[in-house]
C-alpha cells in the first residue's frame, strides 16, 4: 500500500482524460507484471494497493516512486 499526492488538472474534462491515461497505463503495466491493484483518488491524494509476487511488486513500486506526476 502506498499513498501519494497527485497534481490533477482543475478542469473536470482534462482531469478525467488525465486519470483515464493513468488508469490505462496502469492496467497495461500491471497485466504485463502479473500483478493486480486498486487505485483510489480523492482530490489530490492517491492510495494504491498492489498485490502479487513480492519481487514484481517491488519493481512496480520503484517505477511508481520514480514517476513525477
Q: In the prediction, which pLDDT does 46 show?
A: 92
pTM score of the predicted model: 0.75
**Contact call for residues 29 and 22 (beta carbons, < 8 A):** no
User: Which residue pairs, CB below 8 angstroms and at least 24 apart, start in 30-36?
Assistant: 30/60, 33/59, 33/60, 35/60
Angle between helical axes of 54-66 and 12-33 (0-180°, round to 10): 150
Q: What is the pLDDT of residue 67?
A: 81
Report the chain's C-alpha Rg in angstroms.
12
Tell me the pLDDT tens digit for each residue of 12-68.
Answer: 999 999 999 989 999 999 999 999 999 999 988 999 999 999 999 999 999 888 887
d(CA 5, CA 66) in angstroms, rounded, equals 13
User: What is the per-residue pLDDT for 50?
Assistant: 95
69 pLDDT more than 80: no
Amino acid at each position: 500500500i502506498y499513498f501519494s499526492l497527485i497534481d490533477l488538472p482543475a478542469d473536470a474534462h482534462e482531469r478525467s482524460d488525465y486519470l483515464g491515461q493513468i488508469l490505462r497505463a496502469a492496467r497495461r503495466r500491471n497485466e504485463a507484471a502479473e500483478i493486480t491493484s486498486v487505485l483510489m483518488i480523492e482530490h489530490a491524494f492517491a492510495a494504491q494497493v498492489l498485490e502479487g509476487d513480492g519481487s514484481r511488486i517491488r519493481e512496480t513500486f520503484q517505477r511508481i516512486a520514480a514517476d513525477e506526476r
